[in-house]
Amino acid sequence: MTEHPMTVVSSTLTEPLEWPDATVATGDGVEIVRRLKEESPLPLRSHGSLSLNRALIAAGLVDRVQVTIFPALTGRNGSAPVFAGWEDLDLDLELLESTVLDGRTTELVYRPTLH
C-alpha cells in the first residue's frame, strides 16, 4: 500500500506523515476523490474509512468493491457490524474476480451498481 503515492483524506491528520509519498487532503472527501479520479492516471483505492467509502458508493464514484474474507470461528458475536447504518443504500454487486490466496483467505472483487 505504501509503494504508490497516497492521498489521505482526514480532518485530524497533518503533514508530514510517516508514510512515504503521502499528502493530506482536508475537506469534502467525495469532492476530493471526484477530483483525484479525474486527474489521476492511476486507479484509486480507498481503505479504512467506512463512512467515506459509503459516501463514495452513494456518489457513484466506486467502480470496484474488493472484499477479503479471513475465515475464523470464534464463538463470539460481533458488536459493530461493518455495514451497520447502510440500510438506505440499495446496491447490487456483480462478481468480477475471485482468488483463493493461501488456501483459506479469499479475495472477491465486485462491480457495484446503485439503484
Q: Give the pLDDT confidence score for residue 78 in this predicted structure.
A: 63
What's the Cα-to-Cα distance from 39 to each of 1, 4, 33, 106, rounded to whole Å? 20, 16, 10, 32
Q: Cell for 2?
A: 505504501
Q: Give the pLDDT confidence score for residue 35 in this predicted structure.
A: 95
Residues lower than pLDDT 70 in the chain:
1, 73-83
Residue 62, class by beta-carbon neighbours within 10 Å (0-12 exposed, 13-18 middle, 19+ buried)? Answer: buried
pLDDT in tens, 81-107: 666 777 777 888 899 999 999 888 999
pTM: 0.72
**What is the CA angle 104-111-97, rounded to 5?**
35
Q: Give the pLDDT confidence score for residue 20 in this predicted structure.
A: 85
Strands 91-100 and 106-114: antiparallel
| Dist CA 63 CA 54 (whole Å) | 13
Q: Give the pLDDT confidence score for residue 43 in this predicted structure.
A: 86
Which one, of 102, 93, 111, lies nearest residue 70 by Cα? 102
